[in-house]
Structure 1
Amino acid sequence: MRFRGLDLNLLGVFEGLMQTRSVSGAARQMNLSQPAMSAALSRLRDYFGDQLLVTHGKRMYPTAFAESLAPQVRECLATIESMLATSASFDPLTSQRRFRLIASDYVVAAIIAPLLERLAEQAPGVTIQLISPDDHSSQLIVDGKADVMIAPEQFMSTDHPSELLFEEEHVVVGWSGNGLFEQPIDEAGFLSAGHVAVAIGSRSNAAFADRHLAILGKVRRIEVSASSFTTVPWLLIGTPRLAVMHKRLAQAAARMFPIASAPLPFDFPLMREMVQFHHTRAQDEGLKWLRSRLRDMAYDQKI
């Protein structure tokens, strides 16, 4: 299909080349032969009157024009994908749609796992692809490679709509055999205990709780730093360690692990967990349905 003389299939080729910076890599990604990919790049160069990618050593580098074109092409492809995925109506009982969700293991354990139990009956043909958050999660929304991202408010992009999914409290958790839980935990006992902290992503970003404890000046003795929320219970059992955990996750974990929880011995801010989606999908009936189900489950899981 052509638009103003441009074969629209070449937009996908351009995106593949910009991602891989390699003719052979883009060819493998798009299941094309290397000669076919080279020919497609040549057609792109002719159309735009620019080299787009130039070879230096063993790598290809985009020109300034290609860099300026890239976000427009991504936006165009995301809009097309949204158009193809969207219909005037959405019937969960008959839909075969696949939704791609960016969510932490905390959200998966506390909200998505119990939701999937319901969807087994309410939407038997719908599938969910879970994507772990990282430093590039927002870009997956921009590129149309994820449908929604669930994360604390500070991780939301201002370029796309987001809405409150739920507010979350934090509690102190520890092994149920930990003597500290035999009476209310005070601040001195909390700070003197060894702790498990959580650092997320390749840059070991502090989680919401750890970041706000630092802001409040609550200096703990960190004995273990975990890379995920759901590993924390394993690191508490049989030890005097404590951790600060989302209340919904603590509730879910207590059904499977011998852990106890107690209120934090000082005021602590609520975490606002948001859901974000591409602005071209604001009227997507399927995503409206999914966001509604997520909100319902978050409300039902509230302690």
Structure 2
Amino acid sequence: MRYHGLDLNLLALLEALRIEQNVTRAALRLNLTQSAVSAALGRLREHFGDPLFALVGGRMMPTALMQAMAPRLEEFLAVSRVLAFANASFDPAAASRRFYVTASDYVLAVVMPEVQRRLLDVAPGIRLSLNTLPFHSGQADRLAAVALEHNNSDFVILPDIHRSQAHPCAPFFQDGFTTIAWLDNSLIAGELTLAQYLELEHVVREISPGVPGSMEAEFFIQAGFERRVAVAVDQFGLIPEFVVGSSRVATLHSRLAVLYARRFPLRLIKPPLDLPATVQVIQWHAYQDADPAVTWLRQLMQDVAAVI
């Protein structure tokens, strides 16, 4: 469809390019060929009389015009998605739709495999694209808004303290903390005292060098205790790899620790410090609050989270 000479179908492509900052990744996101995306970008540049993106350090960075258009483009596409799925009825068994879910790799690993198994049984046409939460120091209060408003996520799951006040929210699950150690770690005989715990070397998650990337790290800092960090990784999924075969320990969300103990030779130990439980919430865009498919899938994910 053309409007004032602009093919409106190209706006979704423009948004994919803005998000991915790469023609190849945008093509994969849209299920198009790289040449098709490049050709479409050429038509957009001709229409707007602007390059729209400039290659900087291997990434396609938006021009001033593209930056100025971005908020309106996001709003237009958000409303378009609502209109596209504005059907009062929703039949999961017959539905064909892709949903984008953004969360930490911890939440994705613990919850989403079972969600996918249930979808295969009751809604085989529902497809999921899972993305890790792009946590950046100093932007915690914008995590949900960025995922929903700028990255086209249908759902974002994150700690309650980082929820967005601009979008609907529901409880997802609560989790405590558990320390993991290699089964053959000779330095650990039973329960850990705080002194023993602080003497051991630790594997932790950091979002950037020296910046904690987990809730338990913040709790230890607030309590005034400093751990001996031997290995820092940027993904929860890498932590057990550096615990097994060593004398190191790590303290993780309990559901994740239990999951890893099924896959690795690990011992589960109660942390020597009383760490408060964390609450995860699920959020969706305000525009999608009345979308029956969004409501149905959110309830399914909440049901799974309640029993894992």
TM over 0.5: yes
Letter in 1 for 2:104: S
Q: Name 1:48's counterpart in structure 2.
A: none
Q: Name 1:183's counterpart in structure 2.
A: 190
Change (3 A) 1:182 1:123: farther
- Check conservation: 1:173, 1:259, Cα contact below 8 A: yes
* Counterpart mapping for 1:285-300 below 5 A: 285-300=292-307
SS of the equivalent of 1:178 reads coil
Cα distance in structure 2, aligned partners of 1:38 and 1:238: 54
Q: Alignment partner for residue 288 of structure 2, among 260, 268, 281?
A: 281
* Counterpart mapping for 1:114-263 below 5 A: 114-135=114-135, 138=144, 139-143=146-150, 145-179=152-186, 182-200=189-207, 206-263=213-270
SS of the equivalent of 1:70 reads helix
Q: Which piece of structure 1 moves more, 201-210 or 248-257?
A: 201-210
SS of the equivalent of 1:231 reads helix
Q: Say if 2:68 is the partner of 1:31.
A: no
Q: Name 2:113's counterpart in structure 1.
A: 113
- Check conservation: 1:77, 1:144, Cα contact below 8 A: no
- Check conservation: 2:105, 2:132, Cα contact below 8 A: yes
Give structure 1 stretches of 5+ with no counterpart.
46-50
- Residue by residue over 1:117-171, the C-alpha shift from the partner in whole angstroms, topping out at 9 and shown as x without a partner, is 2322122222211112214864342136221111223443333223221111011
- Check conservation: 1:14, 1:41, Cα contact below 8 A: no
Q: Say if 2:274 is the partner of 1:267.
A: yes
SS of the equivalent of 1:274 reads strand
Cα distance in structure 2, aligned partners of 1:116 and 1:19: 25
Cα distance in structure 1, aligned partners of 2:13 and 2:123: 35
Deviation at 1:188, TM superposition (A): 1.0
- Check conservation: 2:13, 2:37, Cα contact below 8 A: no
Letter in 2 for 1:113: P
Cα distance in structure 1, aligned partners of 2:119 and 2:21: 40
SS of the equivalent of 2:263 reads coil
Give structure 2 stretches of 5+ with no counterpart.
28-32, 137-142
Deviation at 1:262, TM superposition (A): 2.1
Q: Say if 2:82 is the partner of 1:79.
A: no
Cα distance in structure 2, aligned partners of 1:128 and 1:257: 27
Deviation at 1:180, TM superposition (A): 5.6
Cα distance in structure 2, aligned partners of 1:183 and 1:191: 15
Change (3 A) 1:246 1:19: closer
Deviation at 1:8, TM superposition (A): 4.1
- Check conservation: 2:53, 2:66, Cα contact below 8 A: no
- Residue by residue over 1:25-56, the C-alpha shift from the partner in whole angstroms, topping out at 9 and shown as x without a partner, is 9998793675x7556545446xxxxx79699x
SS of the equivalent of 1:98 reads strand
Letter in 2 for 1:128: L
- Check conservation: 2:19, 2:150, Cα contact below 8 A: no
- Check conservation: 1:22, 1:60, Cα contact below 8 A: no
Letter in 1 for 2:281: M
Change (3 A) 1:29 1:75: farther
Letter in 2 for 1:266: L
Letter in 2 for 1:212: F
Q: What is the aligned residue count?
A: 292
Letter in 2 for 1:234: E
Q: Name 2:30's counterpart in structure 1.
A: none
- Check conservation: 2:96, 2:125, Cα contact below 8 A: yes
- Check conservation: 1:174, 1:236, Cα contact below 8 A: yes
Q: Name 1:103's counterpart in structure 2.
A: 103
Letter in 1 for 2:159: P
- Residue by residue over 1:70-122, the C-alpha shift from the partner in whole angstroms, topping out at 9 and shown as x without a partner, is 20221111210232134222222222222211122211221111232232212
Change (3 A) 1:37 1:226: closer
Change (3 A) 1:213 1:32: closer
Letter in 2 for 1:261: L
Deviation at 1:231, TM superposition (A): 2.0
Cα distance in structure 1, aligned partners of 2:304 and 2:274: 27
Change (3 A) 1:54 1:33: closer
Change (3 A) 1:155 1:163: same
SS of the equivalent of 1:255 reads helix
